Amino acid sequence: MFSKNLGVMLYVDDVAAEKVFWEAVGFDIVAESEVMGFETFDMKSHADSTATFTVYAKEFIRQVSPQVIDMQPSVLFETEDIEGLHARVAAETDTVSAIQDQPFKNFNFASPSGQYYAVKGN
């Protein structure tokens, strides 16, 4: 049986830049380590979240699991304050979209590695 915890692995070009970005938009960095000479870190969108995102360098993944290097999840975050979060993300990147009303209140943005994420307002 699966546990209640969820882990999502993100493969990026620059682990350090991703860490700076995700911290700036409000994620909690819960662990940092080095694996086979590559920096990695774990983060959560909220301290109480059961979902953990682990960020790995693409070069590391090419060495240990080259078959998954091009797989990227489609991640949808949720927020109670879409306008506030939108402003915070917009202060860190120019890749943030305007807030849309359809099919629900939402916006999207890219992290420094160019991966896009969506945010849904509650």
Question: Is the separation of the CB atoms in 21 and 93 below 8 Å?
Answer: yes
* pLDDT at residue 52 is higher than 80: yes
Helix, strand, or coil (residue 53): strand
Distance CA 24, CA 18 (A): 10
Are 121 and 105 contacting, i.e. CB atoms less than 8 angstroms apart? Answer: yes
Higher per-residue confidence, 57 vs 72? 57
CB 55 within 8 A of CB 17: no
The yes-or-no verdict on residue 2 having pLDDT over 70 is no
Beta strands at 38-44 and 28-35: parallel, antiparallel or unpaired: antiparallel
Distance CA 101, CA 92 (A): 23
pLDDT digits (tens, 9 = 90+) for 59-100: 999 999 999 988 877 899 999 999 999 999 999 999 999 999
- Looking only at the bridges linking them, the beta strands covering 6-12 and 28-35 are unpaired
Domains in the chain (CATH in brackets) are: 6-121 (3.10.180.10)
- The average pLDDT across 45-71 equals 93
Residue 2 burial (CB count, 10 A)? 5
Q: What is the pLDDT of residues 4-16, one digit of tens each?
A: 888 999 999 999 9
For residue 41, give the 3-state DSSP assignment: strand
